[in-house]
Structure 1
Amino acid sequence: MAGSSTAPHFIASVLREAIYRGILPEGRPLPQAQLALRLGVSPIPLREALRLLETEGLVSFQGYRGARVTALSVEEAQELYEMVAALEANLLRIAFPRITLRIVGDAARVLDRMETERDCIGWRDLNQMFHNLLYEPADRPLTLDVVARLRQKTDRNIRIHLVSMRDESQRQHRGILAAVEAGDLPAALEALVSHLTYTSNDLQSYMRQEQGPRRRR
């Protein structure tokens, strides 16, 4: 069946969004029989979907205890953003001479859409689209794939700090795009790294607030 190969990816997308929204919180066991029943799917594509999420670092298998949602530490979030910043800066550096006015215009329109997007997952998708528009001219598909995987791990917590950072983040996005449009590579790189550092610090701050009560329980 044509749909049999896509079923695990569809199930994975449903579970990924549930993790991003906190419906399936960190550390929570994922009983496969119950999940299959709730989702109306058979156990085989469900297990394949969980394996896909395992490759993204969102799910882990623990022997006879089955699968559970992984936890992300503050230290891991910091390291992930350090890698993202290094890779994205290199992508922008390579792509810069090939970024056209049309790409700049497309990126500006994405930012306009982000202004009114209130859903955290919708905003996250537009944010990724904005950044990718600037990086795709680099023609580095392997690097883009690595960045996407790293961002999947950090974006799982977008819901806990988006409200606090979205206005400043949008201002920073506009600054990056203005430097790109002006043809100023050093300013664009500085704005990008500053933006990613700000986002990382904001996320770490909120993660500490969230994880603090857990340690005291």
Structure 2
Amino acid sequence: MNLNKPKTMAEFVSDSLRKDILLGKIPGGTRLKQDEISELLSVSATPVREAIKILSAQGLVNFDAYRGAVVKNLSYKDAKDIYDIRLMLEPILIKRSLEKFDEIYLKKAISIQNDIDKCTNPYDWAILNSAFHSTFWEVESDSKLYDIVQNLLISSIPYITITLMHKQDHIALSDDEHLAIINAYKSRDEGLLIELNSNHTMKTRDILEDAINA
């Protein structure tokens, strides 16, 4: 997730829709009508169609044979699948990325963490959190594996928001874990970095199970 990369019209539309979905302004089960979205955001039909495909790939929208694109309801089953796949794939990306270690990404992660430290809004925190983690394998951004993991990270955002609202001290605990991840990356300790990242991901998954099943 490159926060500095200029957005295409499709990305602008998908970002707008994603935020409204995650904030509950567009609830699960809502049909996404392309003409209404085009008028609301003052864009043509093409970027709206592309945006809906992006949201579908990120697990936020389903295609119904009769209703078209419909906002997906969140479930722990889907969340567990997302986190379990991340736990398998992220260590591979970390290993590859450390082989191409660059101070640029370390500085970027520290900068994002500084923004996280000042953030109190759960949705904005979840967005920054995803950007923080993706920084450590951004050097692999030209790979298919990177694209897959990025979609999983974005799909995690609504669930991360839920964990923050369910367990208020999760932000402080995550901030401490982020600092440990930064230090492991700085020292290029592959084993420790993978362990810290995996434990961090598993902890969020476990909190999420309590939150959704509460």
Work out whether the TM-score is over 0.5: yes
Give, as a single letter, the amino acid of the residue that structure 2 aligns with 1:183: R
| Equivalent residues of 2:177, 2:200 under 8 A apart | yes
Q: Which moved more, 1:145-154 or 1:134-143?
A: 134-143
Give, as a single letter, the amino acid of the residue that structure 2 aligns with 1:175: A
Give, as a single letter, the amino acid of the residue that structure 1 aligns with 2:184: A
Query: What is the CA-CA distance between 1:7 and the residue it aligns to?
Result: 3.9
The verdict on how the C-alpha distance between 1:40 and 1:185 changes in structure 2, with shifts beyond 3 A counting, is closer
Q: Deviations over 1:33-62 (max 9, x none)?
A: 544454445555534432332233211222
Residue 176 of structure 1 is matched in structure 2 by 181
Distance 2:103 2:42 in 1: 47
Query: What is the CA-CA distance between 1:32 and the residue it aligns to?
Result: 4.3
Distance 2:132 2:148 in 1: 17
Moved over 6 A (4+): none
Structure 2 gaps, min length 5 = 1-7
User: Within the alignment, does 1:207 sit opposite 2:209 as a pair?
Assistant: no
Residue 163 of structure 2 is matched in structure 1 by 161
Q: CA RMSD in A?
A: 2.5
SS at structure 1 position matched to 2:188: coil
| Equivalent residues of 2:130, 2:157 under 8 A apart | no
The verdict on how the C-alpha distance between 1:121 and 1:141 changes in structure 2, with shifts beyond 3 A counting, is farther
- TM-score (norm. length: structure 2): 0.81
Q: Deviations over 1:88-133 (max 9, x none)?
A: 1111122224324453333222212210022334323322232222
Give, as a single letter, the amino acid of the residue that structure 1 aligns with 2:190: L
Residue 213 of structure 1 is matched in structure 2 by none
SS at structure 1 position matched to 2:66: helix
Give, as a single letter, the amino acid of the residue that structure 2 aligns with 1:53: L
| Identity, % of aligned positions | 27
Structure 1 gaps, min length 5 = 1-5, 210-217
| Equivalent residues of 2:97, 2:136 under 8 A apart | yes
* Larger fraction in helix: 1
What does 1:19-168 align with in structure 2 at a 5 Å threshold? 19-41=21-43, 45-138=47-140, 141-163=143-165, 164=168, 165-168=170-173
- TM-score (norm. length: structure 1): 0.80
Distance 2:188 2:85 in 1: 25
Q: Deviations over 1:63-85 (max 9, x none)?
A: 23233101232122111111112
Residue 194 of structure 1 is matched in structure 2 by 199
Task: Figure out how many residues of one structure are paired with residues of the other and give that number.
Answer: 204
